[in-house]
Amino acid sequence: MNKLRLIIKSLMLIMTLYCSMLSAEVSHVSINSRQFDINQVPSLKVNFISKHKDLNQFYFIIKQGSGQYAVEQTLVANRINPYLIHLHGNTNITDSHATLSVSIFRNADWVQIAALPIFDAPKSNNAAALTPSLQPHQPQLTPQKAVVTNSAKHQLVKETSPLADIMQLPAMVQNCNVDRSDSETLWKIANRYKAQWNTNVYGAMLALYEANQHAFSKQRIHLLRKDVSLNCPAAHILAQYHDVSVDRRTFEALQAKHAGF
């Protein structure tokens, strides 16, 4: 009996360590906004913070229906910036309870790391900042143990040169510092600069965080250090924050995530 308990505890420890490893690889996943309604093809912006730049290691699908009527649609992914990706498919979504499933390929199988209700996400008419030249080629990968319905396969994302160029752009403006005092909070700084940066207070806070992660203790957005200067966010960082409701939801999700550590 004691031997059985020891085995169970060992298995639980292994699973805990394994889940911790996956969490370290992907620190945040949430739906930023959706650019479609029911009975339309899916188009989503997803907040995706991972140590991996290569999206081929991840599998994005929409699940709808249940039982024998369950259908899975594989989505194509493009990076907008290091913290935001665009997902799109080519088949209408007819289930208001559809979910976005995100998996990572580990040990010759797909391991799910997130399942998010799609229609709980805010609707935005601002589509992803992509042009036709950024659409990826779509070769296919058939992993050894990938199990999907309706013969769906994982579509690879090819990082085209325009996207790669975007990824290489600096997050901050060189030789440009934000004016601040030691007593000022992130909110107060962002509120002062929001008009100048043509964004809202939540967008300004997110942009400051992206451009100055070194200035946040343990890289947590609610722990702004007093002894570090702040760089001005680059224009391509600020450009993604233009919808106050979406930006607020993104900020609150990131804040809740970091507060949980």
pLDDT digits (tens, 9 = 90+) for 93-125: 999 999 999 998 877 788 888 888 999 887 876
Whether the per-residue pLDDT at 191 is higher than 70: the answer is: yes
pLDDT of residue 123: 80
Q: Between 48 and 18, whose confidence is greater?
A: 48
Whether the per-residue pLDDT at 52 is higher than 80: the answer is: no
Q: Between 179 and 164, whose confidence is greater?
A: 179
Q: What is the mean pLDDT of residues 83-90?
A: 89
Whether the per-residue pLDDT at 165 is higher than 90: the answer is: no
pLDDT of residue 84: 82
Contacts of 71 (CB under 8 A, 6+ apart): 63, 64, 65, 149, 150
Q: What is the mean pLDDT of residues 209-230?
A: 89
Extract the tokens encoding 26.
């992907």
Residue 135 carries which DSSP code? P
Q: How far apart are CA 171 and CA 163, in angstroms?
A: 15
17 confidence band (pLDDT: 50, 70, 90): very low
- 9 burial (CB, 10 Å; 0-12 / 13-18 / 19+) is exposed
Q: How far apart are CA 61 and CA 87, in angstroms?
A: 9
